[in-house]
A and B are shown apart, each in its own frame.
Chain A
Amino acid sequence: MDIIVCIKQSYDVQQLKFDPKTGEPMLAGAPRKMSDMDRRALEEALKIKENLGGTVKTVTVGPPESRDVVKEIYAMGADEAFVVTDLKLDKADPDLTAKIIVETIKKIRNFDLILAGAASTDDYSWQIPAKVAALLDLPFFPNAVSMTVDGGLVVESDLGDAIYKYKAPLPSVVSVSLEINEPRIPTLSAILKASRKQFMDFYLQDLGLGVVTELEVRKVVMPKVERKNVVVEATDPSKMEDGIKKILDELRKENVI
Chain B
Amino acid sequence: MERVLEYPKDPVITFSKEEELFRQMVREFCEKHIEPNWIEVDKAAEKDPMNNMPVDLIKKMGQQGLFCIPCSEEYGGQGGTYTMATIATEEVAYADPSVALAVYALLNNGWPFALELFGNEEICQEILPEVAKGNAFFGIASTEPQGGSDVAGIRTTATKKGDVYVFNGEKAYISGVGEVQRLSWGGGWFLVARTGGPGHQGLSAFAFLARKNGELGKGWNPTIYEDIGRHGLTTGGFIMNDFELEAKYLLGEENKGFYHVMEGFNLARIVVAAATIGAARWLLEKAVEWFRSRKLFGRNISSFQGVSFKFAELYARWEAARYFVYRASRLADKVYMEKDPSLNPKDLNVPVALAKNYGPETCVDLAEEVMKWYGAYAFTKEAPIFRAWLGPFSYVIGAEGAQNIMRVIIARDLIGKEFIR
Contact = CB atoms under 8 A, between A and B. Distances in A.
Interface of A: 14-15, 17, 33, 68, 71-72, 75, 185-192, 195
Contacts of B161: none
Interface string B1-44: 11100100000000001100110110011001000000000000
B79 interface: yes
A190 B84 CA distance: 13
B69 interface: yes
Interface in B118-177: none
A15 B3 contact: yes
B80 A192 contact: yes
Given A71-B21, A192-B80, A187 B6 contact: no
A227 B110 CA distance: 51
B73 A71 contact: no
B80 A185 contact: no
A186 B6 CA distance: 24
A102 to B, nearest CB: 29
A15 to B, nearest CB: 7
B91 to A, nearest CB: 12
A192 B32 CA distance: 23
B65 A14 contact: no
Interface residues on B, range: 20 to 34
Nearest to A183: B28
B131 to A, nearest CB: 15
15 contacts: A14-B1, A14-B2, A15-B3, A15-B6, A71-B18, A71-B21, A75-B25, A185-B29, A185-B64, A187-B78, A188-B79, A189-B79, A190-B65, A191-B18, A192-B79
Report, nearest first, the 10 A-B pairs whose CB atoms are least far apart.
A187-B65, A188-B78, A189-B78, A188-B80, A195-B18, A185-B25, A185-B29, A188-B65, A188-B22, A185-B28
A97 to B, nearest CB: 24
Nearest to A188: B78
Contacts of B80: 188-189, 192
Given A188-B79, A188-B88, A189-B80, 12 more contacts: A17-B6, A68-B17, A71-B17, A185-B25, A185-B32, A187-B65, A188-B65, A188-B84, A189-B77, A189-B79, A191-B21, A192-B80
Interface of B: 1-3, 6, 17-18, 21-22, 24-25, 28-29, 32, 64-65, 69, 73, 77-80, 84, 88
Which of A72, A75, A187, A190 has most B Cβ within 10 Å? Answer: A187
A31 to B, nearest CB: 9
A189 B73 contact: yes
A192 B78 CA distance: 9
B24 A33 contact: yes
B360 to A, nearest CB: 26
Contacts of A195: 17-18
A191 B79 contact: no
Contacts of B29: 185
Given A14-B1, A189-B78, A75 B21 contact: yes
Nearest to B27: A185
Given A14-B1, A14-B3, A68-B17, A191 B25 contact: yes
A56 B13 CA distance: 36
B174 to A, nearest CB: 28
A187 B22 CA distance: 8
A39 to B, nearest CB: 10
Contacts of A191: 18, 21-22, 25
A38 to B, nearest CB: 15
A40 B6 CA distance: 27
Given A14-B2, A185-B28, A72 B21 contact: yes
A75 B80 CA distance: 14
A257 B22 CA distance: 43
Which of B3, B21, B84 has most A Cβ within 10 Å? Answer: B21
B1 to A, nearest CB: 7
A191 B79 CA distance: 11
